[in-house]
Amino acid sequence: MARRAHLLLLAAPLLSSALKVKLGGLAPPPPAKTHFDLIVIGGGSGGLVASKAAANLGKSVAVFDFVKPSPQGTTWGLGGTCVNVGCIPKKLMHQAAQLGEARADSAYYGWEIAEEEHDWETMVAGVQNYVKSMNFAYRTQCMTNDVTYIDAFATFVDTHKLEATTKAGATTEYTADQFVVCTGGRPRYLDIPGAKEHCITSDDLFSLAAPPGNTLVVGASYVALECAGFLHGLGFETTVLVRSVPLRGFDEQMAGLVVDHMRELGVEFVEGATPTSVERLDDGRKRVVWRGADGAEASAEFDTVLLAVGRDAFTHKLGLDKVGVDVNPKSGKLPVRDETTSAPHVFAIGDVVDGEALDPPSALTELTPVAIQAGRLLASRLYGGGTRRMDYQMVPTTVFTPLEYGCVGLTEEAAIAAYGDDNVEVYHQYFTPLEWRVVTSARRKAQEGYAKLIVHSADANRVVGLHITGPNAGEMVQGFAVAMRCGATKDDFDATVGIHPTCVEMLTTMDITKRSGESPKVKAC
């Protein structure tokens, strides 16, 4: 109890900020102004950056942000998915699980740390206090940058006109010369009995009041595997129900390594399974029935069922047909060219952009830094005389599973499809982080990290893909992403002196190709 009280005391300043947000301490009065140069629909990272950039260029800007509660009643403040129910709380809970791993490792380094169970409530309080402090900061930034923030649901009623509805049901019409749609996406629910009534999604998990207990994660997306990873790391029995392939769109070999590692840790995977119903039992547990690839049915009981089967763009209620904006009927996403939709005065950034319709297509439009970059560049082009366009290729990212996976550029499959097998050389190597070597034989599997460089041999050996699993994978990939955007070749990598001892240094010394058939196992330095 003393430890929990100490942690809550440390969080008091954040609680104070959160309380101000909850009580509306910074809520401005309803704006008298109803016409703006730019209206941004959606208060996520990309929309807020675009709005502030436009305001700083002298334009009158309003941001409309409205959070519809999840089927379980969860809602949140200004800042969008990443801040409230995405990247930020996910990474913090991943860190909580990693600290548990580090505590177990520390015994092999001479530390004697008393066994102490993880306290879910303390973690959630700390995470949510930080999230609410960010909500507060975003509202402050809107005020200090002369951006009008309006907490209301906006929908188009005419070419340049919106109708905004507050939580209380009051409506006001607003007009603007130009609009940016960046309403993000929401988790998809399965169309089966009990899904919405008895399941949660990532919209609910990060503020869950009570520990989730024995958890079934349905899906194999990066959200599914990240959540399953940290839940298991926090001590909860975790099962993952996989219908098709894990980490679709990522490199298949790397996805397999991530899943294999999770299996070794004790996460159970049920492959080729499609849920058919979820039933709440008298004791509160959920009975899930699924059908296997062979058609046979199976079932099990869980304390919590987490759906992570994809996200749908939140565009269907925006009245986009009133302004002539084309919408992908399957995904709800908006085809764009340089962020411009089919209506020349309506733009789109972030999760609502149809990556498949880009030229060339991109699977990474749903990343927060992509939305931020697109929003900043769009405002510069519209109002600052800028000419730079958003480049949706060569975007780095990381999957924060227990064994982190970072990548930039093409997958091995995509490179071969684009250039032909004869023109692609794959350099690869396993490695064991030095900090794990003391505990490898006792706790950790050797050869746990793996990396590969995908090289276009017919184009001066240009490195077109980089993939790595290991601790701090995102930190490793970020710098190489800059080099690869500049056209770095394998010779450039080889000519670079590595930092010793680090995991990433071996990317500068890799000399074994898959084509050679030689073993990529760890070598001495």
Tokens of 166: 């507050």
How many C-beta neighbours within 10 Å does residue 382 have?
Answer: 22
Angle at 42 between CA 38 and CA 46, to 5 degrees: 85
> Closest Cα to residue 178, out of 57, 83, 81?
57
CA 286, CA 67: separation in Å to the nearest integer? 28
Q: ∠ CA(494), CA(495), CA(496), 5° rounding?
A: 90
Two tokens at 420? 């032909």
Contact 439, 108 (CB under 8 A): yes
Q: How far is CA 55 from CA 37, 39, 236, 307, 483, in A?
A: 9, 11, 47, 39, 33
Q: Assess whether 500 carries a catalytic annotation.
A: yes
DSSP 199-211: -B-HHHHTT-SS-
Q: Residues with Cβ < 8 Å from 521, sequence gap 6 or more? A: 430, 447
Whether 190 and 218 have beta carbons less than 8 Å apart is answered as yes
Q: Residue 21 corresponds to which tokens in the numbers above?
A: 């947000």
Out of 35, 261, 428, 500, which one is annotated catalytic? 500
Bridge partners of residue 449, in order along the sequence? 431
DSSP string, 393-439: SS--EEE-SSS-EEEEE--HHHHHHHH-GGGEEEEEEEE--HHHHTT
d(CA 112, CA 494): 42
Among 262, 261, 240, 49, CA closest to 147 = 49
Cβ atoms < 10 Å from Cβ of 72: 14
Tokens of 134: 């960010």
**Which residues are identified as catalytic?**
500
